[in-house]
Structure 1
Amino acid sequence: MASIQQINGDYYGSKETLTEALPYVKNRDVYSAAINNFYGIADKELSLYNDAISNYKEALKDCKDEISKQPSLNNIAVVYIHQKKYNEAIKVLASILNQKSINKNPSRKARVLDNLGYANFKKGINEKGLLLMTESYQLRKQIDDFYGSIESNLHLAEYFLKTDSQKSNQYAQSAYEIATKFNSVDERLKALAFLISNDSGNKNAQYAQKYITINDSIIKIRNNFKNKFAKIKYDSKKEKDENQQLRLEKAENELSLQAANYQRIFFIIGITSLFLLLLYLRKFYQNRNRIEKLETAYDTETRIAKDIHDELANDVFHAITYTQTQSLTKEEVKETLLQKLNHIYIRVRGISRENNSIDTGINYSANLKEMLSTYNSSNTNVLINSLEKVNWESIDEIKKVTIQRVLQELMVNMKKHSDAPVVVLKFESTANTITINYSDNGKGCEKDLIIKNGLQNMENRILSIKGTLTFDSEPGKGFKVKITLPK
């Protein structure tokens, strides 16, 4: 409100309104700085120059950085010019221009340049003053600072007032036109004053008449504004008091409406949170499954590499060494070599079976039985019971793949660690579950060492399809596993 009053020339009223604002300022910050700056503007317009400078300096104390200090410093320099303290004004304005941050605000830089040029001109340093004012004028035209160019035109009109009346007249006419466009009455009057001084012909009387008309009009308008503003404040206070009662009456209704609104908001928040939670859980499990697949693939690749290195590579090396040390013309040597090559072929086929894709269609049962049967050897007898009694077509593909991979790992573990003469696999099926019982009469091991024997991956697979896996083993008493999973 104080700013509006200053725009309308009510500087005393503006100071009264600023005084009303002071109790609302709790800390020295940007608001107290703004209030003191407005105080300074009002005092400057009322020609209370010492008070104006004091208020601008108070505003500076509340500014936290050099950028926020620049407007108040510029205002102090303007007051110094009014006081004819040109050296002080030039010192302050030059210090602002030396700050790098001034280049970030072209309109502010133009204002400081114009004031610095004007101060130099008033001091009598005409050439430097004209150079700076012209630079400001060009910068304002470049950035379309039309309102700021009014001040540039007025300063240049004053500069050429005694030396080149035609140029002075041009600048004054430009200032008058722009001030008229922006409805800036004080600047229009200043421009008319220069036009009156520069013209001694017929237009002089026209300019003088305009000046008198505008001056009389603005005095009446500003007096009316003061009365109207006072009435508005009075009516506003009265209306505020009348509405206070209505607000109290509406308070209970608003509270009940707010309660209902809060219920709806909490409901929406709850639904939204639940949706986001479900979305997060879905993404979490997708990521976990993806990681498990990557880990499984890595484990599989590692196992294949180990099998090839530990067993297959050794067998191939022995076969090559055999051919290099034995005569292949002998029948018994050829027969032994063929046996070695056949053993290598069986090993390659076994590794391939362990890691190739799994057929989960109608041939699943037969393929599973064939895979388990490949672990039959002269030293190990694998017995498979009741495999065909399970209705495999009612079980989804992921569970079928998991069962086959788990049984493969179980058989590989048996071959590496158990040395079991007999292995028994028994399949049982109920309405809701499938149970697979594995047992062998091999070496067995301590229960604490079971997971270390490469069976952690097997347990992870079963848990991923919500099944359970139970190990039972003791040294010298074989190895037992019970696998239970839902259909």
Structure 2
Amino acid sequence: MILQRVHFPFFMSLLLLGTFFFSCTRSESSINKATSETAYHKYITPAEDFYAKGVYDSAYYYYNQIRTKSDAKTDGDKIVYSLLKMAAIQQTQGDYVGSEATATEALPFFQQTTEAQYKVAIYNTLGINYQHLFDYANAIRYYQKASALADTPLQKAVIQNNIAVVYMEQQHYKQAIQLLTVLSQSPIARNNLEHQARVLDNLGYCYFKIQDSRSSAYLKKALAIHQQLQFDYGLITSYSNLAKYYQKSQPQLAFSYAQQSYAKATAIQSTDDRLSALALLMEVSSPSQLRNYTKCYLQLNDSISKVKQIAKNQFAKIKYDATQERNENLQLKAEKAENALALAQQRFNNYLLFFILLLVLIAVVLLYFYLKNKSKKEKQAAIYESETRIAKKLHDELANDVYQTIAFAETQDLHNPIQKETLLDNLDKIYTRTRNISRENSSIGTGASYEMALKEMLSGFSSSRVQVIVKDISTIPWDKIAEEQKIALYRVLQELLVNMKKHSQGSFVVLRFEMNAKAFLVHYSDNGIGMSHPIPSKNGLRNVENRILTIGGSIIFDTSSSKGLKIQLTFPK
């Protein structure tokens, strides 16, 4: 199992929200209250330029220069802004522990005069980090703080959606549905299509998880809006959710949506989304495709891990160097050491988790191929045994009769009506035996006519010598019985009656059908010689046992009775 859940693309919308907050235009009246000679003016332009170009290590360096060279007493807003940007960069690079530590550094600088948008952005960033670190209680707490300070209805609605996603992460789908339903019916959702699609996608996913039929409509509507807006991240989410929705009911359609999610993530070069889409493709792909997707997933995951690790090391070094320049006191150095230890522990845990997941994946693949090979051998053995049995029947029951009939035809005067009638009787017997062998090995229809075919087969064993009685066969809901169970049951009863006809010397057979809460049963009994006498051929009963075991059933022979044979067949429901 990978850490990115099925609604992982929703996190991208959270990051975009954070970026929206962070990229607000600097106001000379609210941000820059110092003179043009301050360190802020010296470093802010290169920091913003590098950030806009995606050169995050350089941007991080210049924002850190603003943080370390600003006066904590007079430049609180500038420090908060630089920490916001640094936390956003670390978050973008997947360093959630480092981002949480950086964002937390901004909290002591909050004053009554600090702009609300900065507080909202800090709290929202902390919510995202705790969500990624699976600390859901803190995630909700900081999202609620951000929502309380949000100064526009859209910001508040987006943050409420973030809270709903946390509920989804906790599998509290009913709580998420209550919140998302309110959001979907608000004027904000009607006026902002991107937000509406995001809410509908989350709502559709929640309904899917609780198996509510409304899921499909919401997911499809969200997809239509994302297609209308040509919003790439939203399309990735919609395709992914629809693939999950159709995974069991329509595997081919699920595979198609998973491919579209992967193609879109690849087109916009979103590595995390590509990784999530590959994981989904591994779940919905055929065995022949699984190996390629698994290989691609492992390669990409390894590459991402290396890139993120390099970025984490760079950020750590930049901070460390700046800290050295400021000659921090021993207490601050001790705190940094604790943070580094926690980061190392987190990194170790991540590597350990990845290694365990890799081992599990390898074990699953090996188990799959082992079971597949085992199933193939069992099928081959069954085919061989069936062919051997048919060959023996042809030899024992037909070969001698055919030979004797040929000899009769060659040596007798067929113009004699009596001899001719004898020949015809012999041919009719051969035809009857041939037809019986054909019926025993012909294909079995498992559809609506199965019950009738089963009755006809059972009644076919009745004769002037033996009476076959069938009870309660119509009480069984045959349309709910698996196809392989129907076939196995047909052959098992056929084997038992053939064995009875050959060896039991009985005059009647009773077959009673029964179903309980866990299984359905067939009770067989006859008044023959029973199990206490030697049975000339054990192949029939061995075939019965093998067939039942292949579908997880069981057979019980009642040896306590001195007369006749009693058998109970049990099949899992």
TM-score range normalised by the length of the shorter chain: 0.3 to 0.5
Structure number with greater CO (CA < 8 Å, separation at least 6) is 2
- Calculate the TM-score normalised by the size of structure 1: 0.47
